[in-house]
Structure 1
């Protein structure tokens, strides 16, 4: 595994980081807890020391699974990244930006983006309990909340840093202007944003701004939630409650399939999978600090971790980029 400093901080993170959205089950047609725990353990066994989660993932379940799994381990060897600001429990009393309704276990929950000072502190304490730890390596605002002054949110995060409850503060899904505004109140360690072969918009402004200001970029959905593994095109059906049935509709699937067929020989020649090739490519892109890779079982976790070992020549990278130019 390779490790990098996260932004300006002294926090060493594994370049391939475990992403735990799917094991929460929410929007993913459920989860198998035993397999999820094995995936977390296998990731750690193969050098993935950094685990990214959020309260929203499974409405607390993802954090609980991580907390239970790593309980008793040397905490100093593991970096826990979590988030706040997606509220579903009604504690916001209707305040914040409404996002959507989510259904889980037969109940419907209205989800809001909400980042008031009180909510930052409340969610941080809840995450500490679910994760069974006394500090978080990184606490990130999940989504921008237009109803709360940015400085109020950032001042609450600074208070948590001063109290030793978090080592660093970050944001997620922030654009250039939002990052710069937050920087006026606190020094951001990172911005977690969507980035993949199919979504490279952050290359224009977000990445250059982050690099200039010592902000790390945590890339999420590098495999586009499984689309770039190629499995979807090989008869792997999705359950009716899986959100990817709608998510994949944003892409020209025929063109994506053609692209994967063009780069598959590169993976074949190296004895690796498409998903490993895609992950490795993502880790090599300028300005990217961390690449999140989700895994719902041990096999996927090991595969993701081993992607970092792939060696790509200048010619191979150029070929992949040429095919991408045709795709977009």
Structure 2
């Protein structure tokens, strides 16, 4: 495994980090508890030291499963990355969207990061995770109803109390990062990035490189589509959010699969899967510190972690990029 420093912080994380959204079941059509715990432990056995989770992933379930998987391990050798600022249990802040929990019950998800809420969420996360500190504490989405300065004054207090080690953001633009950074030095920004979703390269990546901020790329496999395993007519479980997204529309699915067929020979020449090739390409990209990759079982987790062993030469990268830049989605 490769380990990378997050910005100017003292936090080192594995370049391939376990993304624990899917194991929470929420918006992924449910979860198998035993498989989820085994997936995390299999990742750690392969050298993955960092787990990224959030309270809203399964309304606490993802954090609980993370805590269960880490029981008995040396806490100092594992980095727990979690989040705050999305509440399903109170009506405050901005309504982000309506959803259903894992039992099919209707819930409203609010973006809320008032000072008292940040403190409470941290305490709840610590309990669910079974730990006394969080390595990276990240706001999940910007809350327009609360000044950024108020939110991060609470985060600063948590750091002073030793309950978190470093502060990060998710889904922030450059201006939002600048405001938060004035209150507490940010280690990183977690944002969507994949071969087919590269919008952050326009402004955010240059800013983060220039100001030494880490970037955690989430959905590097575009929620599974870049694995090459999802074809037109694929059956998704009830509650799975993916069929409604842009990339899963039939025309785009066809175009992405055609692109994957073009780069498949590179993967085959290295005896690796398409997914592994895509993960390696992602962490080689300028400004990208970490690829967050989810797994629903141990076998997926092992395959994801072993992507670190791939070496892409300049010619191979150019070959992939030449074809990628010709890919147009509708």
Q: Which TM bucket (shorter chain)?
A: over 0.9
Alpha-carbon distance in 2 for matches of 1:118, 1:272 = 48
In the other structure, the counterpart of 2:293 is 293
Alpha-carbon distance in 2 for matches of 1:25, 1:273 = 25
Deviation at 1:256, TM superposition (A): 0.6
> Helix, strand or coil: the match of 1:224?
coil
In the other structure, the counterpart of 1:95 is 92
Instruction: Give 1:169-318 correspondences, 5 Å limit.
Output: 169-233=167-231, 236-247=234-245, 248-249=247-248, 252-318=252-318
Alpha-carbon distance in 2 for matches of 1:235, 1:78 = 40
Deviation at 1:240, TM superposition (A): 3.4
Deviation at 1:234, TM superposition (A): 7.7
Alpha-carbon distance in 2 for matches of 1:109, 1:20 = 21
Contact 2:98 2:107 in 1 (8 A): yes
Deviation at 1:95, TM superposition (A): 2.1
Deviation at 1:236, TM superposition (A): 4.6
Deviation at 1:211, TM superposition (A): 1.7
Structure 2: gaps of 5 or more residues:
none
Structure 1: gaps of 5 or more residues:
none
In the other structure, the counterpart of 1:17 is 17
How far does the alpha carbon of each residue in 1:230-261 deviate from its partner, in whole angstroms, 9 at most, with x for none? 11128652123211111244672221111000
Deviation at 1:106, TM superposition (A): 3.1
Alpha-carbon distance in 1 for matches of 2:266, 2:209 = 30
Alpha-carbon distance in 2 for matches of 1:174, 1:316 = 32
Alpha-carbon distance in 2 for matches of 1:299, 1:268 = 19
> Helix, strand or coil: the match of 2:281?
helix
How far does the alpha carbon of each residue in 1:24-58 deviate from its partner, in whole angstroms, 9 at most, with x for none? 00001100011111100000000000000000001
Instruction: Give 1:27-176 correspondences, 5 Å limit.
Output: 27-90=27-90, 94-104=91-101, 105-176=103-174
How far does the alpha carbon of each residue in 1:154-211 deviate from its partner, in whole angstroms, 9 at most, with x for none? 1100000100000000000001111111112111011000000001111111011112
Contact 2:232 2:254 in 1 (8 A): no
Contact 2:114 2:146 in 1 (8 A): yes
Contact 2:232 2:253 in 1 (8 A): no
Number of equivalent positions: 325
Deviation at 1:101, TM superposition (A): 1.3
Which TM-score applies when normalising by structure 2? 0.96
Contact 2:194 2:282 in 1 (8 A): yes
Alpha-carbon distance in 2 for matches of 1:110, 1:54 = 16
> Helix, strand or coil: the match of 1:122?
helix
Give me the CA root mean square deviation: 1.1
Q: Which one is further off, 230-239 or 184-193? A: 230-239
Spell out structure 1 runs of 4+ moving beyond 4 A: none
Q: Which one is further off, 241-250 or 99-108? A: 241-250
Which TM-score applies when normalising by structure 1? 0.97
